Structure 1
């Protein structure tokens, strides 16, 4: 039975999405909210005859639902920094300097990646004004500079620019991901364009928050140093550090990808597994000290929330800690039990009221859908196999949990990651117990004061880590362990959700409504897929991909494609961008040609000219006037020729990822002067022309 609060959650999410995508003006929301509030007041305080009351009850319910929609809209608008008058994007000038405070930082190979909260703008005239807004900063390392920590105050001598959407067809949109975190600007800084400042006087609560941030950073640094002293293997050390802190920066990206491909990436995120182990351990230790039950619960919850703050307050960690709090506090303090599904829905409402942008966070979505699947479907799946063998029963219980979690996250994982781990139920059978042991041993190692015992615990950690990493790598090496390059649209994802939910409901209750829902979802999904497949027979596209140091052009006609590659790509036979586009556009035949000549190339396709200007080659611009609609592709820093551009008059000038920022700026200025359309893939992503 689904809780009634689920309708309120749906209304809250609808309001957040309305504001986030600008689907409704603020004046309309104010009007709807006013009508709903007035109706609720009248219906509550004025006595209505029973006959009319029954008829008006559905309208009253709709008004309450609309009030929650408006609440979601207002909460999202309140947290949207772009609506603030002093947002950095509204008052920024190209010559401005600014001061910001570091919120989080991560060390890269040649830069420090920091999320800065802007506080002050310093104009060229010397005038200073306050501002708000987050900026993603890439600070080039300097000999005198250390990694900025949370709470550090920095002076930035360069104005930030808007995030660039450098995306290719079917690839993740990193700028869109950052924008959902309220980060709309970025800046790349040399070592002389930033410096540390002494923190000035701040508010009481800001000072306390800064001190706590520094304390937790000190703990993380101490954990990193101790793990480095006892764990000599960098892969095991990085995995242990990620299990404790949620920070994967110490791990090899290839290892992280192997966990993602085998369906075990969730063990690297601070989630219910970690929170449950920590809470259970605290309760066990406090029970040995004979502390009263209520005090034991409060202390364990306090330790749990401190760990959530220490690990960075990831959505999955906040969800787990908040669910435990909502279940245990009423039960132990008020003697009123709360069901797990009610706690799940209420925790989602509370977290979205505090962080409405989390509705677009992939971790938030996967965490809640996985737990919802476990709560709804695990009891049914667990009863499907009845046995007296304890080992088989335990293994089946873990498999049932994995399958139940995958039921609701399957459409979402295919939509976002375009793959499906076939052996997820087997890999989790190995990874979950081993990672739990590894987490407990790592925590013991970090708090162990005696080096002699720490040495033997480190040996156990290394042994367990080798078994876990070896198992994951073995499963990852199997080509059939996952299905890749699966692309579904948003409507197809909704149809898949409807089909899976209907199937599970039919298996559990055997009702005609559930069967009809499953069949409707199945038919809707395949009709949508067939329509897209039929459209692929008549498609005509020209694509300029964004790949650093590589120029890749592609012409698609029907289910055939021709690609032209020029650059320094070492593995030219395995281009990820092409394999993705083949699945996305249903391409059955792919012809790839590699540029090895020393002249300017002119391609004519579908009565359209495509001229590739390569700055490494001697240009032989024999085309004085375009006979067909013309497109120019600028590669490898080719220089603009204003006179020739006036004669050719191209429809669009495209600069791909092989050009420097200086070259792109020159071409942009020339195109603006000649009133020509200009597209830089480094700013707007891949250029796609539909004919």
Structure 2
């Protein structure tokens, strides 16, 4: 066993470096200690190398291993700290960006077009702050109002922008997606919307030359596809699959592919780079095993892979996949006595050395897990059945690939996306061969685009072929129980599932019963964690006023049952419900709520209407929801006691009237109130020493009983 583990040196290095990256990201205050530790350990390691082999070989082996792992951990920590721009004293986070008057910025990506904006990632170079230009820098997301001028913006343009910058805000609802942390891993901490007339183009061509040519090439090839593929959905699929352009995919199309377990086809990554690798390997097969031909095979294959990465805009996912396959090709060409696991770990080590925050990328995690799953499980699954008929054999091979990849990535899919595609093995029988056909035919279309007659026919065939594939994918969605939705697991539970999968792999490999026992123990702990969480949910009684942006949303829970009330306009916006509300509903185990099927009129009314007020008694607590203006002549003989008063829709015009009507213990102003009214109310509430809570400022209000 020990000798077997010695073959996986880079796997251990990556594990310890990853631990260091996590520590360096979330525990940055120990930088000086880790730097001193790294220096001391490096000196000890070099000294130990000098005296290596004199005595105590067993002790030396353990010492070298411990020192090497500590070096990897320290390197990961220091690399994460150094690569995090927010530690720079000249970073935008060091000043109050709301006081910025103007700034100079360079556009550093290809941009994303929406219905109303042109969004770009920008690099701020200097800011007008306190009446003078100062050298503060950082990255930001800038959304320009859509007009004829912003349509012409491109990578490398340098702009003068008259505006402040807004720091990204943390999530304002329970378990809501943390967009601030997500962009923070990409060194983006600010954003701003810029209206027309508040920016001026100063220069162009200020970006990286290779990236600029890559984006221009991709845009040129996109123009070819626009010309010859007519159907909008076929064009969107072809662009996403070939060039990695996903902006034109509509929500219905995304949801259908996600539900079928085929979303990976629409994200240019390992599958697509693998197809290119397969094509080139097949064409150069005769050179692969020749002594002198191996180098030629490696050079051509790697060159083609990176050329494909170039035309897709050098996106991180394609660079990651190209790097992974490049290591595999080099290892094969040099006939190194290594294994695929060590080679994959070496590629991950290099990628994380350049960008440690890739570790937190869902794409990075899924890519490597999928490849590891395919490498280990696919051959073993494939060997279970033998088919003489070639077609059945190929179908079984693809099915084994699908099952192996799904087994390795399912826990992350449950953690991030809360669903499991039941018919993934069927969809992959369709979409994987289809991806091969579409990618090859699209690349062929680009090559022969100078020949209009042939291009028209190729474009026509691609268009109708994709329409057939879309029909099949949508058909899977209509099958009974096509997707198991609404699954919630937390991060520790996902780790326990992966530990179980790891022990299953060891059991398959080593044939030792103890590994099977450890698998059962891991699954038992995972099940116990879920049961404990559900028991806590069953005991919980909570009221939540959500922050959904300009709309009212209220949930009152008692165990697994709840009353949920939202405005009609918000009820129709399924995306907002899914983003702001659904995560906390999943965590609480509320089975009868789903954003796609929610209808407000089906909810049992908890409140009683009283002259425009909504009144409820819940757990001996008096709750009043003031959601509309009262009649001017309406009054009470004396103020009513209330444990909780919720004010929505600017129902209270004058804060003085509140104390004429009510004596509240707690006041909540939700997101449907205007900013102007909220500021007026705050001043009055503080003057009267009232206990109040502002949802748009503090996020969702949670009241536990």
The question of a shared fold, defined as TM-score above 0.5 by the shorter chain, is answered with: yes
Contact preservation (8 Å) 2:324, 2:348: no
2:208 corresponds to 1:210: yes
Q: 1:341-380 counterparts in 2 under 5 A?
A: 341-380=341-380
Partner Cα distance (1:118, 1:316) in 2: 25
Q: Provide the secondary structure at the position in 2 that maps to 1:165.
A: coil
Which blocks of at least 5 consecutive residues in structure 2 are unaligned? 594-602
Partner Cα distance (1:38, 1:289) in 2: 46
Q: Provide the secondary structure at the position in 2 that maps to 1:483.
A: strand
- Change in 2 beyond 3 A, CA 1:288/1:14: closer
Q: 1:499-538 counterparts in 2 under 5 A?
A: 499-538=500-539
The answer for the alignment partner of 1:202 in structure 2 is none
Which has the higher mean CA deviation after the structures are superposed, 11-20 or 568-577?
A: 568-577
- Change in 2 beyond 3 A, CA 1:678/1:345: farther
Contact preservation (8 Å) 1:637, 1:660: no
Partner Cα distance (2:136, 2:232) in 1: 42
The answer for the alignment partner of 1:688 in structure 2 is 702
The answer for the alignment partner of 2:42 in structure 1 is 37
The answer for the alignment partner of 1:181 in structure 2 is 186
Q: Provide the secondary structure at the position in 1 that maps to 2:494.
A: helix
Partner Cα distance (2:684, 2:374) in 1: 59
Aligned partner (choices 585, 588, 595) of residue 585 of structure 1: 588
Q: What TM-score, normalized to structure 1? A: 0.89
Q: Provide the secondary structure at the position in 1 that maps to 2:208.
A: helix
Shift of 1:586: 2.4
2:152 corresponds to 1:138: no
- Change in 2 beyond 3 A, CA 1:85/1:580: closer
2:9 corresponds to 1:4: yes
Contact preservation (8 Å) 1:164, 1:682: no
- Cα deviation digits, residues 322-380 of structure 1 (max 9, x gap): 12221223543x45365321221011111111111111111111111111111121111
Partner Cα distance (1:438, 1:515) in 2: 43
Contact preservation (8 Å) 2:500, 2:520: yes
Partner Cα distance (1:214, 1:16) in 2: 31
Aligned partner (choices 18, 39, 58) of residue 23 of structure 2: 18
- Cα deviation digits, residues 544-578 of structure 1 (max 9, x gap): 12334531111112222122333434649996577
Shift of 1:120: 0.8
Q: Provide the secondary structure at the position in 1 that maps to 2:124.
A: strand
Partner Cα distance (2:568, 2:194) in 1: 27
Contact preservation (8 Å) 1:106, 1:112: yes
Shift of 1:543: 1.0
2:605 corresponds to 1:605: no
Contact preservation (8 Å) 1:100, 1:153: yes
- Change in 2 beyond 3 A, CA 1:572/1:196: closer
Q: 1:521-600 counterparts in 2 under 5 A?
A: 521-569=522-570, 571=572, 581-587=584-590, 591-593=603-605, 599-600=612-613
Q: Provide the secondary structure at the position in 2 that maps to 1:492.
A: helix
2:77 corresponds to 1:73: yes
The answer for the alignment partner of 2:196 in structure 1 is 191
Partner Cα distance (2:690, 2:480) in 1: 48
Q: 1:447-466 counterparts in 2 under 5 A?
A: 447-448=447-448, 449-466=450-467
Q: Provide the secondary structure at the position in 2 that maps to 1:114.
A: strand
2:111 corresponds to 1:110: no
Q: Provide the secondary structure at the position in 2 that maps to 1:555.
A: strand
The answer for the alignment partner of 1:422 in structure 2 is 422
Contact preservation (8 Å) 1:14, 1:69: yes
Shift of 1:298: 2.0
Q: 1:107-506 counterparts in 2 under 5 A?
A: 107-125=113-131, 127-166=132-171, 168-199=173-204, 209-282=207-280, 294-295=295-296, 297-332=298-333, 334-336=334-336, 338-448=338-448, 449-506=450-507
Contact preservation (8 Å) 1:107, 1:147: no
Shift of 1:217: 2.8
The answer for the alignment partner of 2:670 in structure 1 is 655
Contact preservation (8 Å) 1:166, 1:683: no
Contact preservation (8 Å) 1:566, 1:594: no
Shift of 1:674: 7.1
Q: 1:672-687 counterparts in 2 under 5 A?
A: 681-682=695-696, 685-687=699-701
Partner Cα distance (2:155, 2:692) in 1: 40
Which has the higher mean CA deviation after the structures are superposed, 26-35 or 236-245?
A: 26-35
Partner Cα distance (2:161, 2:140) in 1: 11
- Change in 2 beyond 3 A, CA 1:288/1:392: closer
Partner Cα distance (2:604, 2:186) in 1: 39
Shift of 1:189: 1.9
Partner Cα distance (2:495, 2:487) in 1: 15
Which has the higher mean CA deviation after the structures are superposed, 559-568 or 129-138?
A: 559-568
Q: What TM-score, normalized to structure 2? A: 0.88
The answer for the alignment partner of 2:598 in structure 1 is none
